[in-house]
Amino acid sequence: MKLTRTVAAPLLLLAAIASTAHAQVQKTREQVQAELREAIRTGDVMAAGDSGLKLNELNPQRYPHAAAVAGKTREQVRAELADAIRDGSMVAAGEGGMTLRDEFPQRYPQLAAAPSRTRQEVIAETREAIRNGDMYPAGEATEKLNDLAPQRYAGRRAPRTAQVDAPADVARSAAR
């Protein structure tokens, strides 16, 4: 009797989970056929062969294009251009790809520097990461040291709490 209960309970639970996973609303045959017709009309089906492209990507001239989204007005574009020229964020002429601010820094006011950490704070964070194994090893590893060798860093991950030291304090006071 006890064995039946221990086996039957997990089986019933699994059956309930499986039935809810498949309780999705099924489409009718007509709905599926309508979706297929629409996909064929718009070219949203895979082309034959190994290209990996859809028909509308392979032959875009054969299929209707998506409706164009309303863009910016002429005045908005001109205002953005004037702002980019004024603050130096416009790309300079040539092949360098640098902005005007990068190419001619003396022409533009300096940007306010964001507050950063001190050298001592960075050194302290680096030492803490080394102690905890929260760093990647040299080379092309994709896992941190504490994931590669958890036994090495197990005691250092969680800080010690006052409750762990409490029994030792009680033993010392009782020994006096």
Of the candidate ranges 30-34, 72-76, 114-118, the one whose mean pLDDT is the lowest: 114-118
The crossing angle, in degrees rounded to 10, of helices 150-157 and 119-132 is 120
Distance CA 24, CA 74 (A): 49
Task: Answer yes or no: is pLDDT of 160 > 50.
Answer: no
With beta carbons less than 8 A apart as the criterion, state whether 101 and 87 touch: yes
Distance CA 107, CA 101 (A): 7
Instruction: For 30-67, write each residue's pLDDT tens digit.
Output: 999 999 999 888 888 888 888 888 888 888 888 887 77
Instruction: For 3-39, write each residue's pLDDT tens digit.
Output: 555 555 555 555 656 555 555 689 999 999 999 999 8
Which has the closest alpha carbon to 91: 81, 78, 79? 81
* pTM of structure: 0.31
